[in-house]
Structures are given as structure tokens and as C-alpha cells.
Amino acid sequence: MSTKDKFTRRTLLKTAGGLALVSGISAPSILRAQSADVIRIGHLTPRTGFLGPLGEYAVMAADLAVEEINAAGGMMGRKVELLKEDSVNPQTASTKAERMIERDKVACIIGEISSASCLTIAQVASRNKTLFINTGGNSDALRGKDCQRYMFHVESQNSMYVKTVGRSFLQEGLVKGKKWYSLTADYAFGHDLLRVAKRFMEGNGGQFAGDDLVPTDATDFSAYLLKIRDSKPDLVVINLAGNQITNFLKQYAEFGLTYPVGGFGFDTALAWAAGKGNFVGTWPVVWHHLIDTPGSKAFVGAFTKKYNKPPENQAWGDYVATKIVAQAINELKSAESPKIIAHFEKGAKFDLLKTRPGYFRASDHQLMHEMYAVKALPAAQVKNQWDIFSSSGPVPGPNEDLEIIAATKEENSCTFPS
């Protein structure tokens, strides 16, 4: 090969490499001409990184929902088209949200799991007066100081998670006069959760024996486990997220620790990954595949048929959010965000596959619905890789107001920026 050939090939490779790096930030999706017979919905969720596995469930569920909506006649007689992107991180999420709204003219954006990305997407959505439905960002701040009129939350807020599982801890006598040891993911979600958890603990007479902040890239928990064993807590509380929960549970079993474990943040996929014998403790969850209602059974059936595995809780969020939007647009015969928002704020009811319908609370746009506390089954009782926990009944119970687990106005108040 001559030097000249080599030079051009090298130049070509360098250029291609440069392009690859640039396109990672702004992957071009095909520019389509606007057409009146299609309604587009933007779906943004992390598909890479530590929240990626959950994002994958979100995408599968949104696809399934759109398929069902189209089979039932679409929205206002028009076909629904789902534009899907990996939100990656807060900066990229806002860029992609901007493009979906301005160029692709989506009717609304659904998705996201990271609270930090939710915030940047909500800012773009508000600026462009486009509805954004958050299906996975938990932070209370998103429903409080960072709330936005154009953002609604199908995902429960941290307060709801804490109060749901907190009831179980109270019943088991693990709160009053007890020492908790907590591990908290060192980012917006974790900090918010720890704040809410401390409020709950102090309000009910418990105290923290120690609370370590864990960098989000930590995979080895041995150093933390040694500290936990040394402090002999009454309860170990996990405010971690994503694969970190799985890593922690596997290593907790490895080190043979037997203190009761619980957590305020949870996703069933992480319990499944920890597996039989490693998964322990009591955890709050927004929904799970064993809920015994006709709606949930139909959803689990359709999802399992399409993907050969049961849906996990993140799948429920994106499925329900897409269905809610379709129902609202069909009822209103309009896809305009301000009209949908007014409809939600007036307390429209939606079937959430649970025992009673839910509605968005006008004061902070949080979906009011039932939650569940799940408890790991002893290894001997586990029959398959999915059904590894037992569930509480719906929380709040049948005779209680849905609002009792949510943050009160005093705990977290929202004044929508005008």
C-alpha cells in the first residue's frame, strides 16, 4: 500500500470517527413531512447507562400501548406514531425534547426515569407549551419547587414510596426507637429520597445510625457492608437506584448479613436480577405483575405474549401514561396541550389497572393512585424466577383517601410558574 493510500484512509477514518462522536449527541432521525392523518407522540427515556434496563421496559410498554391504541382506532380517528429516543443524560434529553417538539411536532412527550432529566425536559416542554408526562422520575422536588404546569406525573413521588413502605415498617415495629442504617445514591433522586425518609423517621421516633452517600458509579459494596455489620442496625435502608440495588443485594447475601432490609426506591427488574436467595426485604412499588385485577391481568398477558417475559413496574408507567393521553385526546377531540391539561386538572378519572381509578391532583399534578409494599419470599417458597415476592393489599386501603400517602402541602408545595 502506498503512503498516499494510507494517508487518505487514515483521514477518512478520522473523519468518520468525528462524525460518529457528533452523531452520538444528535443522532439524526428521519425527517418526515407533516401529515394530517398521524398524531405523533415523543417517547424519551434512558436506554443506556444504569437506568437503561428499566428504560428498555418503558419502550416495550409504550410500543404495546400504541399498538393497542391503533388497533382500537387511534386518536380522533388518526393513527398514532411513537418517536423513540434514548434520553442519555439531562443535557441530551433537553436537546432531544426540543427537536421532537419543534421539528417533529409531537402532541406530547412521555417517559423519562432520571429525575434530573425530567427537570430539563419539563423546562423545554413548558417553554414550548407542550404536555410532558413523567413516567419514572420520583423526586419530590419535581412536584414541589421545580414543578411545572406542563408536567404531570404518573410515577409516584418519593413521599408516596416512603409512606407506603413506612406503614409496613411501622407494623413490624422497625421504626419507633430503632436504629436505621441507610445507603443513598449520591444524586438528585437519592438526596430527595433521604430527605423524605428522614422526615418520616423523625416523625415516627426512629433514628439513623449512619447514612452513607454512594457514588452512582459504585459497584462494590463490601466497604459499606463492613460498616453496616459494625454498627449492628435494626434495619438497613437502601435509597439506591438501578443496578446498584442488584449489586447491593447480591453482596449483602454474599457477606451473610441478616439485618432486616428495606428500601424506599425499588423496581421489580432489580429484584429479578438479584434472584432467589439474594432478594430480601420489604420494598414499595407503584405496580407489579402479580396484581390481581382484570386490567393488570390483561396487560401482563399481552406483554408476556409479545415479549416472552412479564412487564415490570416501569413498563406499567409508560403503558398507562400512553393510554391516559389517548383517552384524554379522544374524549376532548383535541390534541392541544392546554386543553388536555385543563381536563387533567379538573380531575378526570383514568383506569390504571388497579382496584380503583386514579386522577391527577391539581395542586402538584401528581397521579393519585394505589401503591403496594412487596416482601421477598423465602427461597424455599419461590417457584419461578419472576414470582419471588408477596404483596400487600393496595395502599391506601379501600376505605382511605388516595391522598393520605402523598406529600402534604406543608411537606412539599408547588406554585406553578406562570
Q: Cα 305 to the chain's mean position, in Å?
A: 23
Compute and round to an integer the Cα radius of gyration of the chain. Answer: 22
Site string for other proteins, 292-321 (x = CB under 8 A): -----------------x--x---------
The span from the CA of 251 to the CA of 264, in Å, is 19
Q: Is 251 among the residues that bind other proteins (CB under 8 A)?
A: yes
Among 205, 215, 301, 417, binds other proteins (CB under 8 A): 215
Is residue 201 within 8 A of residue 258, CB to CB? The reply is no
| Close Cβ partners of 244 (under 8 Å, ≥ 6 residues apart) | 50, 185, 214, 216, 218, 219
The span from the CA of 84 to the CA of 322, in Å, is 13
Q: Is 186 among the residues that bind other proteins (CB under 8 A)?
A: yes
Among 98, 104, 179, 277, binds other proteins (CB under 8 A): 277
Q: Which residues pair with 131 in a beta bridge?
A: 108
Angstrom distances, CA of residue 338 to CA of 99, 115, 153, 329: 20, 24, 16, 12
Among 43, 56, 110, 280, binds other proteins (CB under 8 A): 56
Residue number, 221 or 344, with CB nearest to other proteins: 221
**φ, ψ for residue 151, nearest 5 deg:** -110, 130
Q: Is 250 among the residues that bind other proteins (CB under 8 A)?
A: yes
Stretch that binds other proteins, among 88-96, 102-110, 211-219, 292-300 (CB under 8 A): 211-219
Among 13, 25, 76, 362, binds other proteins (CB under 8 A): 13
Query: In 87-178, which ranges are E strands?
Result: 108-111, 131-134, 151-153
Q: Which residues pair with 376 in a beta bridge?
A: 389
Stretch that binds other proteins, among 50-58, 102-110, 284-292, 320-328 (CB under 8 A): 50-58
Among 102, 172, 202, 220, binds other proteins (CB under 8 A): 220
The span from the CA of 145 to the CA of 136, in Å, is 18
Q: Is 25 among the residues that bind other proteins (CB under 8 A)?
A: no
Q: Cα 325 to the chain's mean position, in Å?
A: 18
Stretch that binds other proteins, among 25-33, 77-85, 128-136, 268-276 (CB under 8 A): 268-276
Q: Is 254 among the residues that bind other proteins (CB under 8 A)?
A: yes
Q: Is 229 among the residues that bind other proteins (CB under 8 A)?
A: yes
Q: DSSP class of residue 137?
A: -
The span from the CA of 220 to the CA of 226, in Å, is 12
Stretch that binds other proteins, among 132-140, 159-167, 240-248, 338-346 (CB under 8 A): 240-248
Site string for other proteins, 140-179 (x = CB under 8 A): ----------------------------------------
Residue number, 35 or 385, with CB nearest to other proteins: 385
Stretch that binds other proteins, among 45-53, 71-79, 158-166, 407-415 (CB under 8 A): 45-53
| Close Cβ partners of 320 (under 8 Å, ≥ 6 residues apart) | 154, 350, 352, 353
Among 170, 213, 290, 332, binds other proteins (CB under 8 A): 213
Rama region for 173: left / alpha / beta (φ>0; ψ in -120 to 50; rest): left
Residue number, 272 or 350, with CB nearest to other proteins: 272
CB of 270 to other proteins, least distance (A): 7
Q: Is 246 among the residues that bind other proteins (CB under 8 A)?
A: yes
Query: In 135-260, which ranges are E strands?
Result: 151-153, 179-185, 207-214, 235-239
Q: Is 256 among the residues that bind other proteins (CB under 8 A)?
A: yes
Among 7, 8, 11, 17, binds other proteins (CB under 8 A): 17
User: What SS3 class is residue 128?
Assistant: coil
Q: Per CB under 8 A, which of residues 359..388 are in contact with other proteins?
A: 385
Residue number, 18 or 301, with CB nearest to other proteins: 18
Q: Is 47 among the residues that bind other proteins (CB under 8 A)?
A: yes
| Close Cβ partners of 304 (under 8 Å, ≥ 6 residues apart) | 310, 311
Q: Is 10 among the residues that bind other proteins (CB under 8 A)?
A: yes
The bridge status of strand 179-185 relative to strand 38-45 is unpaired
Q: Which residues bind other proteins (CB under 8 A)?
A: 10, 13-14, 17, 20, 47-50, 52-53, 55-57, 186, 212-215, 217-220, 222-224, 226-227, 229-230, 243, 246-247, 250-251, 253-256, 269-270, 272-278, 309, 312, 385
